[in-house]
Chains A and B, each alone.
Chain A
Amino acid sequence: MSAKADSTKGSHFWHLWRWPIVMGVLSATGLLTALVSDGGWGDWWSWLGLGVPVVVMARFAWAPGKPQRP
């Protein structure tokens, strides 16, 4: 909540965008690692990088009402 109470522009930006940025970076690396590897770690990371956003969506869509306040 401290980010919210603090009305300086920077912290407001981070409050709004940090999770979307984390999701975006995870997705982007997930899309790329499997492209440059043949099985192994690249595939594992791509499942993680693209899978975590799916889990996050499911978590908030099916268990709403208790917004996470990181």
Chain B
Amino acid sequence: MTSTAKMDSRRIKAWTWVHKWSSLVTTVFMLLLCLTGLPLIFHHEIGHLLGTEVEAPDLPKDTPRASLDQVMQVAQALHPGKVPMFASHEPDDDRFWYVTLGDTPLSEVGNKTVAVDARTAAVLAQPKFDEGFMYVMFKLHVDLFAGLAGKLFLGFMGLLLLVAIVSGVVLYSPFMRKLDFGEVRQTRPRAKWLDLHNLLGIVTLVWAFTVGATGMINTWADLIIKYWQYDQLSALLAPYQGQKPPAQLASVQQAAASAAALAPEMKMAFIAFPGTSFSSPHHYTVFLRGNEPFNSRLLKPVLVDAGTNALTASPPLPWYLTALLVSQPLHFGDYGGMPMQIIWALLDIATIIVLGSGLYLWLGRRNPAKAGKAAESGRAAKPETPAPVGQVPEPHAARHETTGGAA
């Protein structure tokens, strides 16, 4: 064996170890994420089928809009004792408001959502976002019912997935050296599944890496928003030091109107009430979204004093929030219509097969004694292929089997 070949072999062994362990640790969780993510791709469509999606009645376009103050009153009347947290629009539908109410501005359990018609201030629905099949799928996908700790854990699993993908790409070369692209050997089940694993893994590479990386970034959302408060809002709040939050909130309609007047070409995304994680104790924070395809994903925050309705500031969106907002569609696959959703689902299924075949190859790995035999049959399987110059001489498929098929 030449020294180059020795080094090559050592390098492959190291990458195989990396691929095996990063995959083994994450596989169960990634299977869970792929399976729970599948219905989430179609959550709007499933909501329509289940009748849980809010449908606003069609009214003439020039129907005047109800005052937000009235909208809030109507929603709060249904849940006396709860405080307002958010009022938001769906990205593509400003005909109704989702009003979120909670026991405190920061409460995470027992929150109530009321959908109120933005024109008539009539209650349209009281969607329950904390029960049912889709809720279970969502929670398993996002935080395993374990809050921030669950999110960060899944984020770490996402990081290991990226390691598994990179190491898998490195190993693609030695294991595919003697095969053509897309060649799936039919000699033995192991060879077939190894080839399928390599084929599906390399073809889904860019998509899986993108969805994995953006998913990981999404797990940091809570922390990123907390940092934004600390980084951007603390300076704006200096003049309020020592002051109590306003006892009586000023008109939210007026706050929304003065924020909208600041950027008339933008659309209303949502309003965060004082004391919530997206605002300060002293402000309504109005988030506007752009009306161009790309900047419709970006938000412009406008802080309005919740006591006096004076415009406080409109700090530009920092890069880390931009990164978070851009990473969301790339994870959800919701930005290219139904064909994209279907392709997203198919790529998700391909990833499930990559994970499953990887697990199968590992579970069915052979002991070293049997591996010798496997090497023989591997040699027999492709007798016509000469070993390329300067490479490890033993058949690659056979070596793969001795390493436990983790590659």
Contact = CB atoms under 8 A, between A and B. Distances in A.
Nearest to A38: B293
Contacts of B344: 50
Interface in B234-274: none
Contacts of B173: 16-17
B389 interface: yes
Contacts of B297: 35
Given A47-B336, A67-B182, A68-B181, A35 B200 contact: no
A23 B202 contact: yes
Nearest to A39: B337
| Size bracket, chain A contacts | 35 or more
A27 B207 contact: yes
Nearest to B206: A27
B336 A61 contact: no
Interface of B: 172-173, 176-177, 179-184, 186, 192, 196, 199-200, 202-207, 210, 292-294, 296-297, 326, 329-330, 335-337, 339-340, 343-344, 346-347, 350, 388-389
Contact of B181 (A19, A28, A37): A19
A61 B181 contact: no
A20 B330 contact: no
Contacts of A51: 339, 343
A53 B335 contact: no
A37 B172 CA distance: 34
A10 B209 CA distance: 26
Interface in A43-60: 43, 46-47, 50-51, 53-54, 56-57, 59-60
Contacts of A20: 172, 181, 202-203, 205
18 contacts: A12-B388, A20-B172, A23-B205, A31-B210, A35-B297, A36-B293, A42-B336, A43-B337, A46-B340, A51-B343, A54-B346, A57-B199, A57-B350, A60-B183, A60-B184, A61-B184, A64-B186, A67-B183
A34 B192 CA distance: 35
B339 to A, nearest CB: 5
B182 A24 contact: no
B389 A7 contact: yes
A38 B210 CA distance: 21
Given A23-B202, A31-B206, A50 B186 contact: no
Contacts of A19: 181-182
B181 to A, nearest CB: 4
A35 B294 CA distance: 6
B340 A60 contact: no
